[in-house]
């Protein structure tokens, strides 16, 4: 799916609260997002320069044009960030009403959003991308759940938006019967696993089985547990580049009791307990499907 991401005057509207350092931090985060995505074919940035330069950016009323012409107002690097924005983004001439019409257009191959520093009230939330990497991830995950297409597509896209998860490629077979019925629930569960599991486990003082139960409760998941019986069926072979085979014991699992339409249809996500003592630990997901 190609995401068209629009930057314009509404992107930078001051919320009346942010200090100059707050604004600078958001600019740096936007810069990080653009740097991450500028060479990806499925994320295209557009900029509307018509009224951008006159947009108020700082609490004292300073505009973007003021910042570019006098970088001392906030930080010496800010001008460079805006120059990069103009260089990377494709120019577009849309007034806000026309942009709102564009944002309503979507299908399984295309979606559109306005990039914003802060949520704004006159644009649907699903059509806004908070201008940082996590905001973009939430946006792309939302559309992956809405338009999962095929099992092959879903697993390939999941690799982009859940960077701490290593999902076994055989799951393209396992999830075929669940991809249309459980896509939103799967995205929500994978997001909790990716975003919170490692840090929560590092902080936990509880035994692992009890931690799993608490994790499910804290993150709105139907359940999480261990199977309770050791078995070779939980062994999944992964290949790690030049390191060869790696066997992950994926007994831990998240439980999904109902599908996206509230029908009672069980699905589970089996994964290996991450080695949180290691630097930058990953979570190996061996199986997504019915009870093993």
Any long-range contacts for 77-82 (C-beta under 8 Å, 24+ apart)? 78/24, 78/27, 81/27, 81/28, 81/30, 81/31
Helix (H, G, I), strand (E, B) or coil at 243: helix
Encode the chain (292 residues) as per-residue pLDDT tens digits: 999 999 988 898 888 899 988 998 999 999 999 999 999 999 999 998 777 888 888 888 888 888 777 755 556 677 788 888 888 999 998 888 888 899 999 999 999 999 999 998 888 999 999 999 999 999 999 999 999 999 999 999 999 999 999 999 999 999 999 999 999 999 999 999 999 999 999 999 999 999 999 999 999 999 999 988 899 999 999 987 666 788 999 999 999 999 999 999 999 999 999 999 888 899 999 999 998 8
Residue 133 corresponds to which tokens in the numbers above?
């990497």
CA 129 to chain centre: 10
> Radius of gyration (Cα) for the chain, nearest Å?
22
Alpha-carbon gap, residue 159 to 98, rounded angstroms:
34
Using N-to-C axis directions, what is the helix angle for 20-37 and 133-146, rounded to 10°? 50
Query: Whose structure tokens read 């309503």?
Result: 104
Alpha-carbon distances of 194 from 102, 159, 161, 199, rounded to whole Å: 32, 11, 9, 10
pLDDT at 86: 83
pLDDT at 82: 82
Helix axis angle, 78-88 to 20-37, nearest 10°: 30
Residue 71 has a pLDDT of 54
pLDDT at 242: 60
Neighbours of 258 (CB within 10 A): 15
Which residue bears the tokens 């001051």? 14
* pLDDT value, residue 131: 94
End-to-end CA distance of the chain: 32
Measured distance CA(14)–CA(112) in Å, rounded: 23
Residue 93, both tokens: 């001439």
CB atoms within 10 A of CB 71: 15
- What pLDDT, on the 0 to 100 scale, is given for residue 73? 55
Residues 141-172 as b/e (b if ≥16 CB within 10 A, e otherwise) read bbbbbbbbbebebbbebbeebbeebbbbeebb
Q: How many CA atoms lie within 13 A of 178 on its CB side?
A: 28
What pLDDT, on a 0 to 100 scale, did the predictor assign at position 168?
96
What local confidence, expressed as pLDDT, does residue 14 receive?
A: 86
Model's pTM, two decimal places?
0.93
């Amino acid at each position: 799916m190609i995401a068209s991401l629009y930057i314009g005057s509404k992107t930078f509207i001051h919320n009346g609260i942010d200090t100059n350092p707050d604004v600078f931090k958001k600019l740096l985060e936007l810069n990080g997002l653009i740097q991450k995505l500028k060479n990806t074919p499925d994320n295209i940035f557009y900029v509307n320069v018509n009224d951008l330069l006159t947009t108020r950016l700082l609490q004292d009323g300073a505009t973007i044009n003021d910042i570019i012409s006098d970088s001392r107002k906030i930080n010496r690097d800010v001008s460079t960030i805006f120059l990069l924005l103009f260089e990377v983004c494709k120019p577009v001439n849309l007034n806000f009403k026309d942009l709102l019409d564009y944002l309503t257009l979507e299908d399984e191959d295309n979606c559109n959003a306005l990039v914003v520093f802060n949520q704004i009230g006159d644009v649907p939330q699903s059509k806004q991308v908070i201008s940082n990497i996590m905001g973009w991830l939430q946006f792309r995950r939302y559309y992956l759940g809405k338009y999962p297409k095929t099992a092959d597509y879903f697993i390939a896209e999941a690799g982009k938006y859940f960077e701490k998860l290593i999902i076994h490629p055989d799951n393209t077979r396992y999830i075929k019967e669940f991809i249309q019925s459980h896509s939103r629930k799967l995205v929500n569960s994978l997001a909790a696993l990716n975003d919170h599991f490692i840090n929560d486990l590092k902080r936990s003082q509880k035994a692992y089985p009890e931690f799993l139960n608490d994790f499910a409760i804290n993150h709105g998941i139907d359940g999480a547990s261990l199977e309770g019986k050791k078995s070779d069926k939980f062994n999944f072979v992964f290949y790690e580049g030049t390191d060869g085979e790696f066997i992950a014991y994926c007994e831990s699992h998240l439980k999904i009791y109902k599908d996206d339409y509230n029908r009672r249809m069980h699905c589970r996500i089996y994964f290996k307990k991450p080695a949180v003592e290691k630097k930058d630990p990953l979570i190996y997901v061996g199986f997504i499907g019915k009870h093993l």
